[in-house]
Structure 1
Amino acid sequence: MRAPVFAQIVRAQDATPALRRDLRDCWTAVINAGGAVIPMGCPLPPVPSPEVEPALDEIVRGLAPQRGRILLATVDGALAGWVLLRREPHPLVAHCGTVNHLQTHVRFRGMAVGAALMRRLPEIARDEMGMERLRLTARAGLGLEDFYRRAGWTEVGRWPGALRVAPGDDRDEILMSLAL
């Protein structure tokens, strides 16, 4: 596999209809493959593509160079993965960013696309947005905490049983941090 090529979407008008369709289709495929990126208001899998559109529209509306960006990874012109980086708006935490929705399209799983996105993201947060720290949450039970630890993140806490994946299947929400 060729190394991913990175691009950023920093304004709503840069999210073309074709890109929105690619993001939606990636998100739907990831959810339906068991990924931990189910948006608020979206049913549990299986999920039809239109169900993620309201959440995607909200993300796109929040894009602005210093407030929120989508980092894309493409391979041979195809969307291989993406992640959202947002600056916290409150002045007490404006030096921090939040990472959401890290996704690798199922066609590109096992090819280190997610790891490549997570290596590139801190550079953007620090060098282009002036952030000093990043945070994210992950769902326990999928090995995600190990993935993020390998990328340099530190677990700083857990919210026990905060995520109900299915009746009788409650998972911890893992809180993670990365100093830039």
Structure 2
Amino acid sequence: MALTFELDPALTNELRDGVVALWTDVSNAGGAVGFVPPVTAEDVRPGWLGHLTAIAEGRMRLLVGRDEAGAIAATAFLAFNTHRLMKHWIWLYTVMVHPGHQGKGYGRDLMAAAADAARGFEGIEAIRLTCRGGTGADRFYAACGYKEVGRVPGAIRVGDGDDRDDVIMLLPLS
């Protein structure tokens, strides 16, 4: 069964709890979404609050995918550039599919829904994202049409002696 996607859902306590739980589960399953496991909901909550602030200020939009039971199963955050010379593209942050739903094509569905949402934003011509090297995420994003446009070697330190590349990828929307 496919996910149902919603752009800009109501910012309820249920949404907060669902996104924080998803973020915690994805992180603890080894997902490269800003944390190194193990993490708790309390570890993740400041990330949610940072995104929530950007949403409230109109700098970010939230895309949520719900499974057939209505549970939050996937998210992506689309962030507008504030620099006057870069307003023609957006950032994609915190792309997540619940570990229990991986392997069902939901990641590709989420990426397609994010691109569709971005196409609806006036003046947006591309989506840019970064991902942690060594996780296979760059191969996934490439399979979704993104092209690697840069790489910063060793920019992400996930542990002592474990530095990963920061891979920069771009999806033109035209």
TM-score, normalised via structure 1 length: 0.90
Structure 1 residue aligned with 2:71:
78
Q: Pick which of 57-66 and 105-114 moved more.
A: 57-66
Summarize deviations over 1:68-118 as a string: whole Å, max 9, x none.
211111111111110000110111001110000000111211111111010
Q: Give 1:43-58 correspondences, 5 Å limit.
A: 44-58=36-50
Q: Which runs of 5+ in 2 are unaligned?
A: none
Distance in 1 between residues matched to 2:27 and 2:120, nearest whole Å: 32
Q: Structure 2 vs 1, CA of residues 107 and 129 (structure 1 numbering), >3 Å: closer, same or farther?
A: farther
3-state DSSP of counterpart to 2:151: strand
Q: Is the contact made by 1:66 and 1:129 (CA closer than 8 Å) also made in structure 2?
A: no
Distance in 1 between residues matched to 2:155 and 2:67, nearest whole Å: 36
Root-mean-square deviation (CA, aligned residues, Å) is 1.5
Distance in 2 between residues matched to 1:118 and 1:129, nearest whole Å: 19
> What amino acid does structure 2 have at the position aligned with 1:3?
A
Q: Does 1:98 align with 2:91?
A: yes
Q: Which runs of 5+ in 1 are unaligned?
A: none
Distance in 2 between residues matched to 1:162 and 1:49, nearest whole Å: 26
Q: Is the contact made by 2:78 and 2:90 (CA closer than 8 Å) also made in structure 1?
A: yes
Sequence identity (%): 38
Q: Does 1:144 align with 2:137?
A: yes
> What amino acid does structure 2 have at the position aligned with 1:75?
D
Q: Give 1:102-117 correspondences, 5 Å limit.
A: 102-117=95-110
TM-score, normalised via structure 2 length: 0.93
3-state DSSP of counterpart to 2:85: helix
Alignment length, in residue pairs?
172
TM-aligned CA deviation for residue 171 of structure 1: 0.9
